Amino acid sequence: MTASNDTEVAGSLAREVARRRTFAIISHPDAGKTTLTEKLLLYGGAVREAGAVRAQKASRHATSDWLELEKQRGISVSSSVMHFETAGYRVNILDTPGHKDFSEDTYRTLVAADSAVMLIDAAKGVEVQTRKLFEVCRMRRIPIFTFVNKMDRLGRDPFELMSEIEEVLGIDAVPVNWPVGQGSDFLGVYDRIRERLLSFSGGHHGTRRVDQAEVKGAVDSPAVREALGIRADEIGEALELLDGAGAAFDNELMLSGDQTPMFFGSALTNFGVSPFLDRFLELAPSPGARESDAGPIDPIGNGFSGFVFKIQANMDPDHRDRVAFLRVCSGRFVKDASAIHVRTEKKLRLSKSTLVQARDRESLEEAYPGDVVGLFDPGIFRIGDTVSEAGSFSFAGIPTFPPEMFGRVEVAEVMRRKSLEKGLDQLAQEGAVQLFFEQGAGSSAPIIGAMGQLQFDVLQHRMESEYKVKLRLTLLPHKVARWPVSGFDVDDFRFSDAVKVVEDREGRPVLLLKSPWYLERIAEKHPDLVLSDAPDRVSARD
């Protein structure tokens, strides 16, 4: 290849990277996250009519909620990937579960995102799960955009919400637009940066795009004041107060994660969704360098590389397949090309690659940094695996978190035991649950670890619907899991009532404790024993 061809290829790659926007949406449950996802797909042209997440009898369901249990309960229990092209941008949305029981799935998905949209209920403000997910974003220093949702209902004062974000989350909040009215009087927003009033109407109960009228001018201009009517003084005073307080948007502070731009709207009615999407596409970062054990990997200056952040079995119930979700980090992914599976040092042919759109898949010929590729997985991939053209580095690992609930699994029909083992193994590889065994008992006595009861419910539902295995789950009294790093002797705990010694899927010993209080007791009685709450830091048994 000539130097001019090299330059042309690099230029093409740079253009593709520059137009990518890959982001996750985070929120507390019921803040409207899946509804906003659906409306972004509507305005991005991926769907013609948005499906609302309603009750169990709803005739339509959100595009991102494809598991049967999600449709039944009207909640997201699994992260999903969607994409669309709009205004010259390639947008990849990583929709995450809001429920705390699925925090680990959300954390893994956030590792694959370049930015995040933090959704806040206008009436409830910053809630518990929002705070936890925000901290994950802050640790990664990724830019956060705030969308204050449900302005079609009566909620809290926008200034109060702004102050709460700053005080509770410790990040400067700067409104990019300001709401005009609230509840049934929510009529539009004033764009502070472009100095224009946007008024909304129509939308057919939120299933179609709304009509948007624009009046350009400063808030005290005659045209804007006339359009605002009786609200002119109220909006003018609010914007004057914001300007006086120095609430000015700074792009560099936003990119460093020190400032969050605020937008106001209603995902249900579509009011404010289009202005938010337009500004987000302009301001959000394109894919940047990713940390690895060989230093930062530039998306343009390196060959193809990516990492697996999610594995999903049985997306197609007719074929019982497994898909590994690979975030492309550098270079150009090409179907049928060869790459190195770094952990096993084996060469792979990337032949069965697909583009994932929630449950649906389509053939894929190429992909670029920021894109998510679905790879057929015959059982070789693990979450966190690096795949690259060179095979000379690994991306930073994806953390695993200790479970907080445990249950012993039994199956009613002995004839279904092999199906039980296969199902539990596959769901554990997905990261849906963690799998443990009584020492010396092998697979005949599986114990399941989860973050909460809803994870157990999903496990039982999926085992019955996907593997035709009906489970009996007996809850255990243990609440804490710790992995011995050094100084461990199983005989020290053989007759303990409060501590159960089990093994994880990698053959590593694990201590299950009835409460955190026993950690102090263990430290006192066994000062040489070093424990970890992260199995990633402990070597698997040979």
* DSSP secondary structure, 291-327, as one string: -BBTB-B-TTTS-SEEEEEEEEE-SSTTTT-EEEEEE
Residue 298 included in any domain: no
Predicted TM-score of the model (pTM) = 0.84
Give a yes or no: residue 395 inside a domain: no
H helical segments located in 314-440: 417-430
Within a 10 A sphere around the Cβ of 412, how many other Cβ atoms?
A: 10
For residues 36-61, b (16+ Cβ closer than 10 Å) or e, as one string?
bbbbbbbbbebbeebbbbeeeeeeeb
Could you tell me if residue 496 is left (phi over 0), alpha (psi between -120 and 50 degrees) or otherwise beta? beta
Q: Measured at the alpha carbon of residue 167, what is the angle toward residues 161 and 169, in degrees to the nearest 5?
A: 90
Q: Are 377 and 425 a contacting pair, CB within 8 Å? A: no
Looking at the predicted structure, is the pLDDT value of residue 50 above 70? Answer: no
What pLDDT is stored for residue 398 in this prediction? 80
Task: Show which of 361, 388, 415 is a domain's final residue.
Answer: 388
Cα–Cα distance measured from residue 321 to residue 377, given in angstroms and rounded to the nearest whole number: 8
Comparing 349-363, 428-442, 477-491, 513-527, which segment has the lowest mean pLDDT?
349-363
Q: Does 195 lie in the same domain as 65?
A: yes
- One domain for residues 239 and 119: yes
The overall average pLDDT reported for the chain is 85
Question: Which two three-digit tokens encode residue 538?
Answer: 């402990």
Region 291-319 average pLDDT: 86
90 is written with which tokens? 């390639």
CA distances for 64 relative to 77, 79, 110, 312, 350, angstroms: 10, 8, 16, 14, 26
What was the pLDDT predicted at 77? 46
pLDDT of residue 46 exceeding 80, the answer is no
Residue 48, pLDDT above cutoff 80: no
Regarding whether 178 and 72 lie in a shared domain, the answer is yes
Any domain includes 108: no
User: Based on the domain organization, do 380 and 413 belong to the same domain?
Assistant: no
Range of the domain at 470: 405-537
- 440 with 350, same domain: the answer is no
Whether 109 maps to a domain, the answer reads no
**Are 524 and 455 found together in one domain?**
yes
Is residue 458 situated within a structural domain?
Answer: yes
pLDDT band at 202 (very low <50, low <70, confident <90, very high): confident
Question: Which pLDDT belongs to residue 17?
Answer: 97
Query: Considering only CA atoms, which of 238, 259, 256 is closest in space to residue 180?
Result: 238
What are the E-state strand segments in 160-229?
172-175, 177-180, 188-191, 196-201, 211-216
pLDDT computed for residue 327 by the predictor:
96
Residues 527 and 425 in one domain: yes
Confidence band, pLDDT 50/70/90 cuts, at residue 58: very low
**Residue linked to tokens 């057919």:** 204
Q: For residue 92, which phi and psi values (nearest 5 degrees)?
A: -115, 115
| Domain-embedded: residue 526 | yes
**How many structural domains compose the chain?**
3
Bridge partners of 198? Answer: 189, 214
What residues does 264 pair with on adjacent strands? 148
pLDDT digit string (tens) for 311-341?
887 766 555 678 899 999 999 999 989 999 9
Cα gap 198→215, rounded to integer Å: 7
pLDDT at residue 405, as a whole number = 92
pLDDT at 56 over 50: no
Task: Give yes or no for residue 390 having a pLDDT over 70.
Answer: yes
Residue 105 resides in a domain: no
Burial of 188 (0-12, 13-18, 19+ CB in 10 A): buried
The confidence score (pLDDT) of residue 66 equals 44
Query: What is the arithmetic mean of pLDDT over 361-374?
Result: 88
Q: Is the pLDDT of residue 360 over 90?
A: no
d(CA 500, CA 305): 41
Among the ranges given (54-68, 71-85, 343-357, 484-498), the one the predictor scored with the smallest mean pLDDT? 54-68
Which element (helix H / strand E) includes 519?
helix 517-525
**Average pLDDT, integer, range 80-85:** 85
CATH of the domain at 234: 3.40.50.300
* Rounded CA separation 107/128 (Å): 15
Cα–Cα distance measured from residue 170 to residue 443, given in angstroms and rounded to the nearest whole number: 47
Amino acid, single-letter form, for residue 48: R
Pairing of strands 499-504, 480-486: unpaired
Least confident interval from 238-242, 265-269, 343-347, 435-439: 435-439
Q: Which residue, among 128, 43, 35, has the nearest Cα to 76 in the 3D structure?
A: 35
279, 351: one domain: no
- Domain CATH number, residue 447: 3.30.70.3280
User: Hey, what amino acid is at 309?
Assistant: F
175 with 36, same domain? yes
Q: Give percent of the chain with pLDDT exceeding 70.
A: 86
346 has a pLDDT exceeding 90? yes
Note whether 373 and 442 are same-domain residues: no
Residue 53 pLDDT exceeds 50: no
For residue 5, the model assigns a pLDDT of 60
Q: Which residues pair with 115 in a beta bridge?
A: 23
Is the pLDDT confidence value at 205 over 60? yes
Close Cβ partners of 354 (under 8 Å, ≥ 6 residues apart): 323, 361, 362, 363, 364, 373, 374, 376
Of 72-81, 139-148, 296-305, which range is least confident? 72-81
- Edge-to-edge strands, sheet with 434-438: 471-475, 405-411, 446-450, 434-438, 499-504, 509-513, 480-486, 530-532
- pLDDT recorded at residue 315: 62
Given this model, what pLDDT does residue 57 score?
Answer: 34
Asked which of 334, 354, 388 is the last residue of a domain, the reply is 388
Q: Are 231 and 199 in a shared domain? A: yes
Give per-residue burial for 428-448: e unless 16+ CB within 10 Å, then b.
bbbbbbbbbbeeeeeeeebbb
Q: Which amino acid is at 68?
A: E
Same domain, 268 and 320: no
For 185, 247, 258, the CA distances from 175, given in Å and listed in that order, are: 20, 8, 14
> What confidence score (pLDDT) does residue 258 get?
93
- Angle of helix 417-430 relative to helix 453-467, nearest 10 degrees, comes to 130
DSSP E strands, 122-194: 144-149, 172-175, 177-180, 188-191
Domain annotation covers residue 410: yes
Which domain-ending residue is among 251, 283, 315?
Answer: 283
The pLDDT score that the predictor gives to residue 379 is: 85
Residues 6+ apart with CB under 8 A from 441: none
Helix (H, G, I), strand (E, B) or coil at 192: coil
Residue 494's pLDDT band, with cuts at 50, 70 and 90, is confident
